[in-house]
Chain A
């Protein structure tokens, strides 16, 4: 099953490589990984999406917790949560395609953030399925380039991951 694990990590050199190293060392999957400092600059927030059986996920969270620089972590998929991913996509846009793409972008609540005579650059945020859906809707033949940030997530309601 797909899981989103959110980690508070000491913002220190080498800490990220320990997390990434752990996944390859123990043969776990990383599907996406995002990391950036938080409002407390001594801490980074890292979100990793992974897949595995319940037993594997339990081991992943335990092994992550064992890393000295991991302060706290939560498996967001255990409760209700919000996940978002940002995508920038460059699309071939000429002739009648231009209006069609514009309509699709509106339907997906994206924005066209750069325009040339033959290319639209679209910005789109949402969960991973929505981003996949957009690519499918515009058709892969018109796609020139795709950049995705990987998933970020946060729990719904009062629950917070903090010190």
Chain B
């Protein structure tokens, strides 16, 4: 057996785990580990400019590839800087392992230099966290961390590594465990057969059914199973913001996404349905609006890998705990075997009603001859990239416009912080995607507020040659805040106006990239084409868009799903 130091064991464990990239930032408590990294070339390290960005990069990587991301930082500020990134991953159930240096175990509790109780600080925003108590444990701890992060309902796992666990001159026998067993952690591997049967019977008997799918379908790699089931049944489907791409947006059975800024037809169909099949979604408050007014006539089947997500906000009539791919597969075979078929007349009139809602055309905006509308930028980008780009976003109006007007037919391509709503997520997430998808178009759709929250990463992009395209929908204001102030605070724009914006073109150039300014509608298409043709360059595209635009539809606060504003003046 080989003898290795704790630091070498850690890096070797990552190699044996098949980790390609680590995103991180060195510092005192992590120096033994960084030295071990230096002496090998299998695991590549990406040096970010701020630890938060390392976590978002790992997150973007995980969302695009479906594999857990890995972060390495030092103790104290290095570790605390990761918290927003970890919380972002936690809210969206993204698999990730964050390795944190820690002061030597002999110093813990003494308020040593760069000491923070990272186990305590991270506890509310991790799936689990682990401390290394003896160097010999390292391989097992690493294996456990990835196992917990990637199985069941995925999530971030923090590993705290005191510096004396990685001392170079103490060596131990190394072997990497093939399997890990935890008696207290056994995620469901299939759904309850009786419940699935009951659900299928209800689905076939429904007269106004709708399928409501969420990010769990993407995380559970179940898009194919979902698509086949939906097509076999011929039922309408809507999905959440996190579920975008789990079912092809261009398909006619797809009603768009639902909730606060969802489509008119999706929200109307939900409200009037008599059966909701919820697949890997969690009845979030941005979907349901007022829970007591939620879909009064609907019975609910809820499939989720996490039992705690079921009947948390909305009670399920048929709960099914299990992995979505396995449950959907079983449902599909029962549907195919069943002698019962959906009532063609009922389904026909349900579709007729839905088509009427669709024809009402809730998702619309007024174009202008001279001002660039943010929506048209997204529509144009979708057209110019054939709807096939990876699109990351920050948080605010631009995020909603991107989700509404870019049509995704594939999963893992729409990457945003849906749960936590983290500004500053977009650029580092795009970098994580680009690193592993160098030949794909990667767009970061952002605003002048969000982009400044992690703009230092333009430097990382230069170092590692990450030619993402930054689409800055510049309305010179914190648009979503301003929209709420317009709607709820009589347009008192408290602190939502961005004065002294930098010259983004010069800024991009200062970091060694290209910058393109678009402030005339007539230039929009030609310039965007030019930008997309610059395959090997990071281009910062600063687009001056309508400063007064609002995102619609927008559900009326404390109303039901069907209560929406469709424009500044139209309420249904």
Contact surface of A with B, Cβ cutoff 8 Å: 10, 13-14, 17-18, 21, 25, 55, 58-59, 62-63, 65-66, 68-72, 163
Answer whether residue B183 sits at the interface, using C-beta atoms and an 8 A cutoff.
yes
New A-B pairs, 11, CB < 8 Å, besides A21-B124, A66-B308: A10-B184, A13-B131, A14-B119, A14-B129, A14-B131, A17-B120, A55-B315, A62-B307, A65-B308, A68-B127, A163-B183
Taking the nearest CB of chain B, how far is it from the CB of A22, in angstroms?
Answer: 9
A-B contact pairs, 21 of them (CB 8 A): A10-B184, A13-B131, A14-B119, A25-B124, A55-B311, A58-B311, A59-B308, A62-B307, A65-B307, A66-B306, A66-B307, A66-B308, A68-B127, A68-B128, A68-B148, A68-B184, A70-B184, A71-B183, A71-B184, A72-B184, A163-B183
Residue among B127, B129, B148, B184 with the most chain A CB within 10 A?
B184
* B143-175 residues at the A interface, CB under 8 angstroms: 148
Complex Cα distance A137/B120, Å? 44
Interchain CA distance A65-B187 in the complex, whole Å:
11
Residues of A within 8 A of B129 (CB): 14
- CB A68 to nearest CB in B, in angstroms, measures 5
A70 to B308, CA, bound (A): 14
CB of B533 closer than 8 Å to a CB of A:
no
Which residue of chain A is the closest to B321 with respect to CB atoms? A62
CA distance A10 to B149 in the complex (A): 19
A44 to chain B, nearest CB (A): 12
* A21 contact set on B, CB distance < 8 A: 123-124
Closest to B133 in A: A13
Chain A nearest Cβ from B137, distance in angstroms: 12
Give the interface of B toward A (CB within 8 A).
Answer: 119-120, 123-124, 127-129, 131, 148, 182-185, 306-308, 311-312, 315
Among A10, A55, A66, find the residue whose CB has the most chain B CB atoms closer than 10 A.
A66
Q: How many pairs of residues, A versus B, come closer than 8 Å at their CB atoms? A: 36
**Chain A residue with Cβ nearest B144:** A68
Residues of A within 8 A of B127 (CB): 68
B275 to chain A, nearest CB (A): 22
> Which residue on chain B has the smallest CB distance to residue A71?
B184
How long is the Cα–Cα vector from A10 to B308 in the complex, in angstroms? 21
Q: How far is the CA of A131 from the CA of B307 in the complex (A)?
A: 38
Residues of B within 8 A of A66 (CB): 306-308
Q: Which of B185, B306, B307 contacts A68 (CB 8 A)?
A: B185
* A13: B residues at CB distance < 8 A: 131
Q: Is the CB of B308 within 8 A of A63?
A: yes
CB distance from A26 to the nearest CB of B (A): 9
| In the bound complex, CA of A63 to CA of B124 (Å) | 12
Give bound CA distance, A25 to B119, whole Å. Answer: 15
- Cβ of B119: which chain A residues have Cβ within 8 Å of it? 14
Q: How far is the CA of A69 from the CA of B315 in the complex (A)?
A: 27
**Whole-angstrom distance between the alpha carbons of A14 and B128 in the complex?**
11
Q: Which residue, of A13, A14, A25, has the highest number of chain B Cβ atoms within 10 A?
A: A14
| Interfacial chain A residues near B185, Cβ < 8 Å | 68
Given the known interface contacts A68-B182, A71-B183, the answer about A18 and B308 at a Cβ–Cβ threshold of 8 Å is: no
Complex contacts, A17 vs chain B, CB 8 Å: 120, 123
Pairwise interchain contact A69-B124, C-beta atoms closer than 8 A: no
Q: Which residues of B contact A62 (CB under 8 A)?
A: 307-308
Q: Which residue of A has the minimal Cβ distance to B184?
A: A71
B153 to chain A: closest residue by CB: A66
Bound CA span A69–B131, Å: 14
A74, chain B: closest CB distance, angstroms: 15
Shortest distance in angstroms between A21's beta carbon and chain B's nearest beta carbon?
Answer: 5
Which residues of chain A are within 8 angstroms of B306 by Cβ–Cβ distance?
A: 66
Bound CA–CA A70/B183 (angstroms) = 9
Shortest CB distance B142–A (Å): 16
Q: What is the CA–CA distance of A77 and B123 in the complex, to the nearest angstrom?
A: 29
Measured CB to CB, the closest approach of chain A to B42, in angstroms, equals 29
B420 to chain A, nearest CB (A): 15
A86 to chain B minimum Cβ distance, whole angstroms, is 29
User: Could you tell me the distance between the alpha carbons of A55 and B185 in the complex, rounded to whole angstroms?
Assistant: 24
Closest Cβ–Cβ distance, residue A24 to chain B (whole Å): 9
Q: How far is the CB of B516 from chain A (nearest CB, A)?
A: 45
A52 to chain B, nearest CB (A): 14
Residue of B nearest to A63 (CB): B308
For residue B128, which residue of chain A has the nearest CB? A68
Whole-angstrom distance between the alpha carbons of A18 and B123 in the complex? 7
Which of chain B's residues has its CB closest to A69's CB?
B184
Tell me which residues across on chain B come within 8 A of A25, comparing CB atoms: 124
Chain B residues in 8 Å Cβ range of A71: 183-184
User: B219 to chain A: closest CB distance in Å?
Assistant: 16
Please give the distance in Å from A23's CB to the nearest CB on chain B: 12
- CB-nearest residue of chain B to A24: B124
Write the nearest CB–CB distance from B154 to chain A, whole angstroms: 13
